[in-house]
Amino acid sequence: MRPVASPRAPSSPWPPPTWDELLIELGVDLVVASDGEPWLIELNGRPGGRLSGLAAADPARFQDAATEALARPLRALAALI
């Protein structure tokens, strides 16, 4: 197994990593059962990646769908509070 390529030498701790190198996009799909127990459905490595790419390529056609895909889970969470 080969190591993952890094923009800086592995033996060099300086300069420290930037936020772009530390942050990743991760989607977590959960449901809450009627007894209040959370259940993990799946983890997504690029949850908005495909739709965001389509929205960037053709904003008139996909921008509303991309915005709705991001807003829908937030509205669902807000309804629980």
> What single string gives the DSSP state of each residue in 58-80?
-HHHHHHHHHHHHHHHHHHHHHH
Q: Tens digits of per-residue pLDDT, 36-48?
A: 999 999 887 766 6
Residue 27: closest CA among 65, 73, 78, 81: 73
Q: Residue 44 sits in which domain range?
A: 23-80
- Domain assignment present for residue 18? The answer is no
- Domain assignment present for residue 17? The answer is no
- Domain assignment present for residue 65? The answer is yes
Q: Tens digits of per-residue pLDDT, 16-35?
A: 767 666 656 677 888 999 99
Q: How many domains does the chain have?
A: 1
- Domain assignment present for residue 63? The answer is yes
Q: What number of other Cβ atoms are within 10 A of residue 55's Cβ?
A: 19
Mark out the alpha helices in the chain (DSSP H runs).
Answer: 19-22, 49-57, 59-80
Please count the helices (runs of H) and the strands (runs of E) in the chain: 3, 2
- Domain assignment present for residue 49? The answer is yes
- Domain assignment present for residue 46? The answer is yes
pTM over 0.85? The answer is no
